[in-house]
Structure formats: structure tokens, C-alpha cells
């Protein structure tokens, strides 16, 4: 409900104002029915003012718009009305009379006028009783015709007033005496200029950029005025009354009749909330009010003195800054073009020349779409031509020097300016382009390609296909040309809303096909047979002089003696790029030696290797095997080592972010190493991938010129997770890695920044598959809620993105298999059936979760909020415990009273069988209590398997692992996923049992990799145990889809096809099948199973 349309974005803020002198008067008005004034006085105590007569013919949008026939039309009705419903006169008189009680005692001829704010003023119904001799009027609205008409009426009435044509979300009001408001209801406001109130949330423009209209109007009014009288929906009013931060100023709650807005074609329950000037622990007055009732007496409403208060509206759309150009006019037309880091700088000597030059380069403001939600510009983008000053945009072109001359130098010269180019600028640009050419040369890549897979399609933009038969080019389009048999057709790779497509042309017509459709209907001229194929030639041999220098350096340092052939080639290839790369070799392929080789090959004096704390000893063991001299390396553990840096300096992530000493709490090891390290090698770099993590910040603080990242799992969870990993190593928004929070880096930006997207938005649209997403997730793809399918939208485009960033090796490729023989593993899935007691407990917890989820989701939709993710995760954990460890006591509808579950009994029997076969095993699980239970039960049957989990100190865990399993006679170990560390070598076992599944493929892959080591001599088998109809099946589907998506993007595997079945459908399928077998109705079966025990 609203007296305005103030939530719609105004294209430009406009201010209408008029000042008049003082006179007298506060009087009385009468109303006898809703919506129309009456000449017969009643008890409101305020008069009708003649100046407002011309506004009475105005009708609201809500009054002239038909009500929606069904709920589906509600959103369209809100869009048309903009929440604009004028306040009936009787309610307006009531609100104004209450304001009169608060400030009437301050009115006298010597005081200044009482300032009244209406942040959704519309036709001015709430201020129709104002007197120009006493009141100054301030209003906000975006309904231009209505605002102009009201401005004319106020001017004729002799008011001092200011009307701003702008939405309330773009205004900051301050120092008002009274605020009267009837804001729009249930509309979403969104603006980067919003003030951070408790009601604001994460919007399309970042944190605190979105809010419901009625909530924002209330908080804005309370921050701006002493006395606030606001009309709100009853549901919102109840929430306000229960909020201690708002109710401390609440003096009264006045319930209005249900038909209060009947004349405005609306039926809604509303209340008037009255707020006083001070926070006092008083009980608000609660009133049921009807027309004709007296004005309620409200305590503690008297406003303070008006003498020192100066009301003002700060409109963000106005440029209120200082002059941009302050340089004096000297008539010197000489300008100097230089650079500062990655930006071009133009230095002027004359203010007039500066104005002309900047106008020539910037040209104009970037255009904005009609609605701000349609496009979000990156932070700082304001002008069409400002991209010409970004050096990286010019480097994207074939000739960056020519691009600079055309867009920058040419623009300056067109204004008659004489341009002096810094002598070092163009040589630097040419050198940067040569380096970029090396960086944009893809790494060598081998992949297993099936003869009919999408991996057969070239990555080039243009190629050809052959028609195997006579066919229509586009069978569903009338008049499509016929393609003869054996005809050769040109193909162009294009971007489509569904990902990468292929435009096939023939006789002037074209058809866009998916990769699957293209391979099904046409043939490639050269089809490769299934097998290991080199899909990228790589950098070796293309830069012979630089490569020769690196190989001679490797031989001179003796590095070649302790590297395998493929490792030596990899070191040379990644160093050809000079600034860094990401090495994503699979686990067990000697990343420790690669890290040491990269550090020694560094041309700088000092290199830094950063790894996890528990892997420092593994790295030291590798150094001793190689035989590096003691004076060439050290472990940084204290301030003493910082004074004597060596060629190789080893430090853990945890220490890098810590203070150097207690006496220097702000000086961390990262700060102390800043600008002293030429090359940094970040092992297990995925742990520092989150841009806001302390590890990531510490790596950035070091500021190394050359950065290498190493990880066996480049995609920790979803395919999008590779973006922050790549950003941590090679940066963002540059020609090599164009995605990030800044502008998407491209050659086009040097010419125009109009509608340039944020890099993170372009990445999400191109590669991420989402059903829905919150604004918080859209901001960074790190936090916030979403429903994401584990699929890459554009698989060929994803491979093209990483081909110059990621150097990848897998165990089975021929160059690796010559040196490293790690046996392949097989996965066996075993299904067990719920026993009745366990099923009863599980269904009770599942149904309790479902009921909670539906109720919580409905509440969040009603309140316009997002479901609390932490609470949701906790409730899902209840499901996993009910399935895997029901003996754990938790807040569930009923406690589990049974013994060992069928799943637990199966694992115990399986471990005993492996013991009898002489096989050694590792059982992985999440719960320490579960592992302790399994250890006890196995011990009863003579199987020794110590439990190693997070409740044991790390040193004790390692001691038990070494003494009882690695060097002992234990049959197996029971290891928690959390205690399983990257780089841990447990090749003594060859059977892996995943008791419960994890949500990420990385966690499971790291668990399996503990036994996949070069010294593994047996066949490795992974056993997964699933309970039919349980969460296990959904988790297996999710993890398999994530693993397949990662395999498709990284290793040229097949893209996932088919539908993605969600958890509730899997459970229902199992219940239906079980009911059918027992001859019961499914609903009846579910009820019986819940209470069977």
C-alpha cells in the first residue's frame, strides 16, 4: 500500500523546490467516510487546506488497475501499480493529527518551520493538511507527472518545499522533525546506493543493496526523523512490535478496519505505528480505531527543540563531489603518455587541455538499461571510453601498440593536443605482448578419446564436416536446403544460451547444433580411433631459444638427474610462460619434486614453497632423498630464518599468516616476506582458493613476481571452484584469465565499455548450470544459496579456458606410465536393506525434516528472506546420522532403540572376510563415535583395526598409524575423512571401504588416493555400501555427477547426460516398491514403517 510509486527506479534525479516566508496556523479537518473529505467537522482537529483542492482529482495506479484474478497475476499487478495506493483522507487526517500532538508545542513565530518528510509522497495525501506558514515539505517519488503536479500545487500554496524525483533507495534523508509515510508494500527495492539498515540484504549490487519496500521505508524514516508515523501491513507491524531494536521507540499501534482501502480497490489489514523521539522502555498504546473515533492520546511523543535542526535530502543521483579538474589553464597543449602498473596514465600541464583530452578518451557515461537488474556494471565503470586506459585490454588485440595509438593517442590528437609518449612505454608493451603469446600457447595435453566422443571436435573456431547422406540442413524449418551426400560443410563454433553450439552452413542457410547433434548427423574428415591422443601440442619446440636456456640451466643445477622425463618437460613448459601456472597432476605423480625443481629454477635470489603443516616433513624427506645441500634450503619457523633467506624457503600455510612475534602482532610472516620472494610455489593450492581466506590473503601479501600452484584436485567440488584456484595463481581480469570481479577482459573494452559484464557474471552464465540462485551467490560464487546441477554448461569452452592455465597429468597417460606404475582401482557398490527398527527411525527423522523444510521455506517466502543455510545443513546432518550412526543421541523425534544396523553389520562382516583373505583395509567414515563403535565390535571378533579420528591429537594419530599399521600387524585402520590428510601415504592397504559417502568428489578421491601410490603392488578395490532408498543413493548420484563433470572439463571425458533425480523422489521410489512387495498402499506403508518399532 502506498501513496507513491517510489520503488521504481528514476532515470535521473530531479529536484523541485520553492521558498516562501513565514505565516501562522495549525487547524482542523473533517471526514465522514473513507476516501472523500466532508465539509462537516468531526473530531480530527485539522482543517482542509484550500491549496490541495487541485490534487483531489488525481487517482492512484492501484485504483485504476483491475485486481488479479489469480495468484499468478499478482506479480504483474504489482509491476503495473508499483504499489501505489493513495491514503484515504480519514487515515491521513488521523496521522497528521498525531503529528500535531508531537510538535504543536514547538510552533511559534520565532522558530523555524516544522520539517515534514514523506519518503513515498505520491499525490501528497498525508501532507494535505500542512500550512505553508508553519511547515516545510520534503517528498520523494518516481511518478514524474504526479510529482510535477504536486510541485505546482505546493508552489501556489506558498510552501517551502523540495520534491525529489528519485526512489527512496537512492536518497539519504537527515535531521527531520516529522516523517509521515504510507510506503509501497511487498516490493523489492534494489540499488547500490542503499543505506545499510538491519532490513537490507545481499542484492544484485552486493551486500546491503536489497530490501522490501515497507521495511526500508520504516528504517529510513526512523534514522531521519524525531517523530515517525507510518502505515504498514499488519504482518509487518507485528514483526516490528516484537523487534526490541525498533519497539524501544514505539509509542502506539493503531489497528485500522479491514475495509480502510476499499476506495483504492484494495483489501489489506493495516496498522499505523507511531514512534517517539527517544528510546524509552514503555508499553506501546494499542488502539482499534474507526472513523469518528477521537484521536488517541499517545504518551512520550513531544519532540525536542527545532532550533538547531536543518532538514536535508542527500540524493545519490546528484554529483555532490568536488571539481574533477583543478589544474590552472596554461595554454600548454603538450601531454605525456606513460603507465603505472597495468594502467595507462595521461599527464597534462593545462586544465583546459585536461578537460578536452579526458572528454575525448572517456566520451560519455556508459548507458544503463531501463531496469538496473538487467545489467550490473563492474565496480568503477562509469565511462564508455575508460577501457582504453587498461593496458590488458590492448594486449588482447593482435597489435597492442596500434590499439593504443588508435584509441588513446588518436583521441588526444583529435583535440589538437601534442602527445609525448614515454620512451619506455611502447617497448614494455611489445615485450608484454611477446610474453603473452607464450602464455596463450596451450600446454601439451594427452587425453583418452573415444571414437564417438565430443573430444573429437576441434577447439578451433572454424572447421569442416562431411555429410554422410543426403539430408535437410534444418529438418524442422520449412524451405531448408538439401545437403547432398559427401558434401563438405563449413562449421563455426558459437555461444548459445545452452552453452557451446556449432553453426553449420550450406547454400546461404545455416543451422545451429549441439556437439552431440553435430557428431550424430555429420562426420569429421579425420576421425581418431579410441586411445591416448595428444589433443594439444604444447609449448615445447615453439620457443627454441628460451627453451634451450631453461634446459641448460636445469642441467647446470643438476635438477635433471632426479626428475623423470615428463617432470622435466613439465618444468620447462610451465616456465616458458615466465609468470606462473597451475599444475594439476594427479596424486602420486611426484609433485614434491616438481615444487623443488621450480624453486631451484627460479631466476630470482629467493623462492618460497608453501605447503600444509603436516606435509612439511614429507617435503623434508624428499629433499634428503635428492641430496640438496643444506645451505640451499631452510624451514621458516621463527623470525631468525627471515634474516637469512636461502634459495629454497619452506613454510606452512598456518605459519605464513601468523604474526612473526608476540611483540609485533600486525607483522605476519607474509608481510615480512613481501617483495623479497621472486617465485612462490603453493602446494595443495586449493586450500587457499577462497579469496577471503587467510591463506589466500597471505599468499597475495607476499607479492611474488612468479606464482605456481600445485594440487591433485584442481576442482575441489563443483567445476566453478577452479576459478578461484586459477585466480590465486594467474590473477583475474587479464588476457590469460579474463574472469573475475572486474570487467571481463577483452579487446572490445579498449573501444567501448558499454554494457561490459563483470567477469564473474560472464563465467557463471557460460559455465555454471543453475536452477535458481540468490544475489549473494551471484556476487562471488562462494557464499549464498543456490540450486546447482553438477554440470558444465559449455564443456568445450571450459577446456579452452583452462588450456593455457592448467598443466595436467594423469596416471595412465603413456609418458607418465613409463615411469610411474600405479594400479587402476575398481569400485564395487554393495546395497543392503533397512531393517525394520532402523527404517522406522530413519523415516521419522526424514518426515520431521520434510515438515520443517516446507514450513521454513513457506515462512521465508512470506517474509521475503532466504533460508538459513547453516540451519539447513544442520538438519541434513540429522538425516545422515539417522542413516549411518543412529546410536548417536541427537534432537530427533524419537531415539533409536535397536542394535547394530544392517549397514554396520555388513561392514563388520566384510572386514572380517578381508582379514581371513589376508587383505589389509581402510574404512573411511565421518563420525568418530561410529569408528569407535566399529573398532569395539571388530575387536570382539579378533580383527585389529585402530580408529584414527579428530578426537585424537595429530601426533598420537600418526604414532598409532605407524606402530600398529604401517610397521605393525593390524588388519586395517578406521580413518575419519577429517583426519585423512592430503599427501598421506598408506600403500600397505589395498582395500578401501567408504562406509558413508561425502558430498564432494574431492574428499572421496583424496581418501582413495592414500593407497594409490607408486609402491602399491596389489589390485586396489573400493567398496561403497548403500542402503536402499536412503540418502546414500542421492549422495552417490551427486558425487558421481561432480566427478564426471570434473573429468569432462579437465580430462576430456564424456559430458553427463540424463536427468538428475533429487533425494525426495529416491525415497518415494523405495517406499512405493516396498509397499508393492508387501501389498500395502504406499501412504499406509509409510505410516506403518514409521511406527513399526
Q: Which residue did the predictor score with more confidence, 64 or 187?
A: 187
Q: Which residue did the predictor score with more confidence, 610 or 524?
A: 610
* Per-residue confidence (pLDDT) for residue 369, from 0 to 100: 77
Q: How far apart are CA 859 and CA 863, in angstroms?
A: 6
Which region among 271-275, 372-376, 537-541 has the lowest average model confidence (pLDDT)? 372-376
- Average the pLDDT over 630-639 and give the result: 92
pLDDT band at 11 (very low <50, low <70, confident <90, very high): very low
* Per-residue confidence (pLDDT) for residue 1092, from 0 to 100: 41
Which of 111-115, 349-353, 364-368 is most confident? 349-353
994-1013 burial: b if 16+ Cβ within 10 Å, else e: bbbbbbbbbbbbbbbbbbbb
Q: Is 12 exposed, middle or buried (0-12, 13-18, 19+ CB in 10 A)?
A: exposed
- Average the pLDDT over 1052-1077 and give the result: 60
Q: Which residue did the predictor score with more confidence, 427 or 1017?
A: 427
Say if CB 429 and CB 404 are below 8 A apart.
yes
DSSP state letter for 476: T
* Per-residue confidence (pLDDT) for residue 1059, from 0 to 100: 62
* Per-residue confidence (pLDDT) for residue 772, from 0 to 100: 53
pLDDT band at 84 (very low <50, low <70, confident <90, very high): low
pLDDT band at 326 (very low <50, low <70, confident <90, very high): confident
Say if CB 305 and CB 106 are below 8 A apart.
yes
Give one DSSP letter per residue of 734-775, joined into a string.
SSSS--SSSBPP-GGGGT--TTPPBHHHHHHHHHEEEEEE-H
At residue 886, the 3 state secondary structure works out as coil
Q: Is the pLDDT of residue 70 over 50?
A: no
Express each pLDDT in 87-142 by its tens digit. Answer: 888 888 889 988 888 887 777 766 678 889 998 888 888 888 888 888 899 999 87
Q: Which residue did the predictor score with more confidence, 44 or 885?
A: 885
Express each pLDDT in 1037-1049 by its tens digit. Answer: 888 888 888 888 8
Which residues are within 8 A (CB) of 113 and not within 5 positions of it... i.e. 6 or more apart?
22, 134, 135, 136, 160
Residue whose entry in the numeric block shows the C-alpha cell 473533517: 30
* Per-residue confidence (pLDDT) for residue 338, from 0 to 100: 96
Q: How far apart are CA 669 and CA 1016, in angstroms?
A: 39
Query: Rounded to the nearest 10 degrees, how much is the dihedral formed by the CA atoms of 755, 758, 763, 766?
Result: -10
* Per-residue confidence (pLDDT) for residue 404, from 0 to 100: 95
* Per-residue confidence (pLDDT) for residue 1075, from 0 to 100: 59
Say if CB 522 and CB 429 are below 8 A apart.
no
* Per-residue confidence (pLDDT) for residue 8, from 0 to 100: 37
pLDDT band at 866 (very low <50, low <70, confident <90, very high): low
pLDDT band at 849 (very low <50, low <70, confident <90, very high): confident
Q: How far apart are CA 82 and CA 85, in angstroms?
A: 9
* Per-residue confidence (pLDDT) for residue 41, from 0 to 100: 36
* Per-residue confidence (pLDDT) for residue 933, from 0 to 100: 93
* Per-residue confidence (pLDDT) for residue 499, from 0 to 100: 63
* Per-residue confidence (pLDDT) for residue 835, from 0 to 100: 87
Which region among 30-34, 517-521, 889-893, 917-921 has the lowest average model confidence (pLDDT)? 30-34
> What percent of the chain is predicted at pLDDT more than 90?
38
How many CB atoms are located within 10 Å of the residue 621 CB? 11
* Per-residue confidence (pLDDT) for residue 830, from 0 to 100: 94
Say if CB 413 and CB 419 are below 8 A apart.
yes
Q: How far apart are CA 1036 and CA 1025, in angstroms?
A: 10
Q: Is the pLDDT of residue 894 over 90?
A: no
Query: Which residues, listed in sequence order, are joined to residue 201 by a DSSP beta bridge?
Result: 210
Which region among 256-260, 754-758, 993-997 has the lowest average model confidence (pLDDT)? 256-260
Say if CB 669 and CB 660 are below 8 A apart.
yes
Say if CB 57 and CB 116 are below 8 A apart.
no
Say if CB 287 and CB 255 are below 8 A apart.
yes
At residue 1026, the 3 state secondary structure works out as strand
Q: How far apart are CA 509 and CA 505, in angstroms?
A: 6
> What percent of the chain is predicted at pLDDT more than 70?
82
Which region among 274-288, 446-460, 492-506 has the lowest average model confidence (pLDDT)? 446-460
Which region among 152-156, 1073-1077, 1088-1092 has the lowest average model confidence (pLDDT)? 1088-1092
- Give the closest residue to 141 by CA, choosing from 162, 159, 112: 162
* Per-residue confidence (pLDDT) for residue 10, from 0 to 100: 37
- Average the pLDDT over 865-888 and give the result: 75
* Per-residue confidence (pLDDT) for residue 456, from 0 to 100: 65
Q: Which residue did the predictor score with more confidence, 990 or 496?
A: 990
CA of 586: how far to CAs of 168, 770, 811, 976, in Å?
55, 28, 7, 22
pLDDT band at 65 (very low <50, low <70, confident <90, very high): low
* Per-residue confidence (pLDDT) for residue 769, from 0 to 100: 79
Which region among 331-345, 542-556, 822-836 has the lowest average model confidence (pLDDT)? 822-836
Express each pLDDT in 393-430 by its tens digit. Answer: 999 999 999 999 999 999 999 999 999 999 999 999 99
- Average the pLDDT over 891-913 and give the result: 84
At residue 229, the 3 state secondary structure works out as strand
Q: Is the pLDDT of residue 898 over 90?
A: no
Q: Is the pLDDT of residue 81 over 60?
A: no
For the chain, what is the mean pLDDT?
82
Express each pLDDT in 726-785 by its tens digit. Answer: 998 999 999 999 999 899 999 999 999 999 999 999 998 888 877 555 555 555 655 555
Say if CB 340 and CB 422 are below 8 A apart.
no
Helix and strand totals (H; E) in the chain: 35, 44
* Per-residue confidence (pLDDT) for residue 79, from 0 to 100: 52
CB pairs under 8 A, 24+ apart, for 894-898? Answer: 894/841, 894/844, 896/837, 896/838, 896/841, 897/837, 897/1093, 898/835, 898/837, 898/838, 898/841, 898/1093
Q: Is the pLDDT of residue 573 over 70?
A: yes
Q: Is the pLDDT of residue 17 over 80?
A: no
Q: Which residue did the predictor score with more confidence, 272 or 72?
A: 272
* Per-residue confidence (pLDDT) for residue 264, from 0 to 100: 59
* Per-residue confidence (pLDDT) for residue 303, from 0 to 100: 78
* Per-residue confidence (pLDDT) for residue 755, from 0 to 100: 92
Q: Is the pLDDT of residue 860 over 60?
A: yes
Amino acid at each position: 500500500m502506498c501513496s507513491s510509486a517510489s520503488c521504481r527506479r528514476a532515470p535521473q534525479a530531479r529536484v523541485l523546490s520553492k521558498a516562501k516566508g513565514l505565516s501562522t496556523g495549525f487547524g482542523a479537518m473533517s471526514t465522514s467516510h473513507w476516501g472523500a473529505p466532508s465539509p462537516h467537522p468531526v473530531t480530527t482537529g485539522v482543517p482542509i487546506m484550500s491549496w490541495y483542492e487541485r490534487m483531489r482529482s488525481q487517482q492512484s495506479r492501484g485504483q485504476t488497475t483491475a485486481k488479479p484474478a489469480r495468484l499468478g497475476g499478482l506479480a504483474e499487478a504489482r509491476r503495473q501499480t508499483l504499489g501505489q495506493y493513495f491514503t484515504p483522507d480519514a487515515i491521513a487526517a488521523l496521522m497528521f493529527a498525531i503529528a500535531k500532538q508531537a510538535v504543536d508545542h514547538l510552533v511559534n513565530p520565532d522558530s523555524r518551520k516544522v520539517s515534514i518528510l514523506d519518503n513515498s509522497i505520491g499525490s501528497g495525501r498525508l501532507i494535505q493538511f500542512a500550512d505553508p506558514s508553519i511547515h516545510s515539505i520534503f517528498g520523494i517519488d518516481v511518478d514524474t507527472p504526479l510529482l510535477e503536479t504536486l510541485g505546482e500545487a505546493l508552489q501556489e500554496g506558498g510552501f517551502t518545499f523540495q520534491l525529489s524525483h528519485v526512489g527512496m533507495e537512492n536518497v539519504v534523508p537527515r535531521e527531520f522533525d516529522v516523517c509521515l509515510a504510507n510506503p509501497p508494500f511487498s516490493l523489492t527495492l534494489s540499488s547500490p546506493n542503499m543505506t545499510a539498515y538491519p532490513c537490507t540484504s545481499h542484492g544484485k549490487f552486493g551486500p546491503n543493496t536489497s530490501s522490501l519496500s515497507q521495511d526500508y521505508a520504516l528504517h529510513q524514516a526512523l534514522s531521519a526523523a524525531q517523530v515517525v508515523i507510518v502505515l504498514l501491513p499488519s504482518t509487518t507491524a507485528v514483526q516490528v512490535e516484537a523487534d526490541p531494536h525498533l519497539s524501544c521507540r514505539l509509542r502506539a499501534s493503531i489497528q485500522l478496519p479491514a475495509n480502510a482501502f476499499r476506495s483504492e480497490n484494495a483489501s489489506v489489514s493495516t496498522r499505523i505505528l507511531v514512534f517517539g523521539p527517544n528510546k524509552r522502555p514503555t508499553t506501546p498504546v494499542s488502539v482499534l480505531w474507526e472513523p469518528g473515533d477521537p484521536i488517541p492520546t499517545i504518551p512520550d511523543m513531544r519532540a525536542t527543540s527545532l532550533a538547531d535542526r536543518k532538514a536535508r535530502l542527500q540524493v545519490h543521483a546528484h554529483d555532490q563531489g568536488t571539481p574533477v579538474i583543478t589544474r590552472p589553464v596554461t595554454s600548454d597543449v603538450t601531454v605525456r603518455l606513460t603507465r603505472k602498473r597495468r594502467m595507462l596514465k595521461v599527464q597534462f600541464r593545462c586544465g583546459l587541455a585536461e578537460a578536452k583530452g579526458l572528454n575525448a578518451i572517456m566520451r560519455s557515461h556508459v548507458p544503463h538499461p531501463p531496469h538496473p537488474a538487467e545489467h550490473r556494471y563492474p565496480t568503477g565503470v562509469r565511462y564508455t571510453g575508460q577501457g582504453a586506459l587498461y593496458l590488458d585490454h590492448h594486449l588482447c588485440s593482435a597489435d597492442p601498440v596500434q590499439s593504443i595509438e588508435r584509441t588513446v593517442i588518436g583521441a588526444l590528437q583529435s583535440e589538437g593536443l601534442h602527445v609525448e609518449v614515454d620512451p619506455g612505454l611502447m617497448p614494455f608493451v611489445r615485450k608484454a605482448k611477446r610474453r603473452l603469446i607464450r602464455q596463450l600457447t596451450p600446454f601439451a595435453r594427452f587425453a583418452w578419446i573415444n571414437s564417438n566422443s565430443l573430444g573429437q571436435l576441434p577447439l578451433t573456431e572454424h572447421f569442416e564436416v562431411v555429410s554422410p547422406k543426403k539430408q535437410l540442413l534444418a529438418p524442422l524449418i520449412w524451405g531448408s536446403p538439401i545437403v547432398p551426400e559427401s558434401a563438405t560443410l563449413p562449421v563455426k563454433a558459437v555461444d548459445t544460451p545452452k552453452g557451446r553450439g556449432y553453426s553449420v552452413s550450406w547454400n546461404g542457410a545455416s543451422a545451429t547444433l549441439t556437439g552431440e547433434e553435430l557428431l550424430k548427423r555429420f562426420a569429421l574428415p579425420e576421425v581418431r580411433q579410441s586411445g591416448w591422443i595428444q589433443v594439444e601440442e604444447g609449448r615445447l619446440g615453439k620457443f627454441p631459444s628460451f627453451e634451450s636456456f631453461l634446459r641448460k640451466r636445469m642441467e647446470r643445477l643438476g635438477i635433471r638427474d632426479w626428475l623423470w622425463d615428463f617432470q622435466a618437460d613439465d618444468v620447462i613448459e610451465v616456465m616458458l610462460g615466465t609468470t606462473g601456472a597451475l599444475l594439476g597432476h594427479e596424486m602420486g605423480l611426484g609433485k614434491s619434486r616438481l615444487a623443488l625443481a621450480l624453486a631451484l629454477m627460479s631466476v630470482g635470489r629467493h623462492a618460497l614453497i608453501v605447503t600444509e603443516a603436516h606435509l612439511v616433513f614429507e617435503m623434508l624427506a624428499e629433499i634428503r632423498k635428492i641430496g640438496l645441500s643444506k645451505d640451499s634450503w631452510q624451514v621458516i619457523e621463527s623470525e631468525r630464518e627471515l634474516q637469512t633467506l636461502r634459495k629454497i624457503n619452506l613454510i606452512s600455510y598456518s605459519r605464513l599468516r601468523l604474526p612473526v612475534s608476540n611483540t609485533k602482532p600486525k607483522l605476519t610472516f607474509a608481510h615480512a616476506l613481501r617483495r623479497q620472494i621472486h617465485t612462490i610455489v603453493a602446494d595443495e593450492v586449493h586450500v587457499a582458493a577462497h579469496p577471503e581466506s587467510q591463506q589466500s590473503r597471505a599468499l597475495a601479501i607476499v607479492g611474488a613476481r612468479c606464482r605456481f600452484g600445485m594440487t591433485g584436485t584442481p576442482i575441489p567440488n563443483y567445476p566453478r571452484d577452479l576459478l578461484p584456484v586459477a585466480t590465486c595463481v594467474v590473477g583475474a581480469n587479464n588476457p590469460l584469465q579474463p574472469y573475475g570481479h572486474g570487467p571481463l577482459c577483452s579487446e572490445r573494452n579498449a573501444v567501448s565499455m558499454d554494457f561490459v559484464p563483470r567477469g564473474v557474471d560472464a563465467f557463471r552464465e557460460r559455465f555454471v548450470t543453475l536452477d535458481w540462485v540468490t544475489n549473494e551467490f551471484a556476487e562471488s560464487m562462494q557464499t549464498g544459496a543456490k540450486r546447482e546441477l553438477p554440470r558444465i554448461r559449455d564443456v568445450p569452452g571450459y577446456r579452452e579456458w583452462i588450456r593455457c592455465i592448467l598443466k595436467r597429468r594423469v596416471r595412465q597417460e603413456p609418458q607418465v606410465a613409463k615411469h610411474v606404475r600405479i594400479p587402476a582401482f575398481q569400485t564395487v557398490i554393495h546395497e543392503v536393506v533397512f531393517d525394520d527398527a532402523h527404517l522406522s527411525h530413519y523415516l521419522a527423522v526424514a518426515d520431521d525434516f520434510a515438515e520443517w523444510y516446507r514450513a521454513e521455506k513457506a515462512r521465508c517466502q512470506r517474509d521475503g528472506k532466504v533460508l538459513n543455510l547453516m540451519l539447513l545443513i544442520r538438519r541434513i546432518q540429522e538425516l545422515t546420522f539417522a542413516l549411518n550412526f543412529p546410536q548417536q543421541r541427537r534432537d530427533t523425534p524419537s531415539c533409536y532403540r535397536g542394535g547394530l544396523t544392517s549397514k554396520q553389520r555388513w561392514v563388520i562382516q566384510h572386514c572380517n572376510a578381508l582379514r581371513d583373505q589376508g587383505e589389509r583395509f581402510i574404512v573411511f567414515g565421518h563420525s568418530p563415535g561410529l569408528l569407535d563403535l566399529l573398532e569395539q565390535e571388530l575387536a570382539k571378533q579378533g580383527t585389529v583395526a585402530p580408529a584414527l579420528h579428530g578426537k585424537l591429537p595429530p601426533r598420537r594419530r600418526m604414532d598409532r598409524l605407524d606402530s600398529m599399521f604401517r610397521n605393525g600387524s593390524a588388519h586395517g585402520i578406521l580413518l575419519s575423512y577429517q583426519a585423512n590428510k592430503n599427501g598421506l601415504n598408506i600403500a600397505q592397504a589395498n582395500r578401501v571401504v567408504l562406509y558413508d559417502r561425502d558430498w564432494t568428489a574431492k574428499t572421496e578421491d583424496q581418501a582413495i588416493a592414500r593407497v594409490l601410490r607408486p609402491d602399491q603392488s596389489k589390485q586396489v578395490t573400493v567398496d561403497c555400501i548403500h542402503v536402499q532408498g536412503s540418502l546414500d543413493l542421492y549422495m552417490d548420484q551427486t558425487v558421481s555427477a561432480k566427478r564426471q563433470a570434473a573429468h569432462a572439463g579437465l580430462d576430456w571425458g564424456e559430458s553427463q547426460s540424463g536427468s538428475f533425480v533429487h533425494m525426495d523422489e529416491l525415497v518415494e521410489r523405495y517406499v512405493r516398491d516396498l509397499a508393492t512387495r508387501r501389498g500395502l498402499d504406499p501412504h499406509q506403508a509409510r505410516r506403518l514403517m514409521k511406527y513399526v518399532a
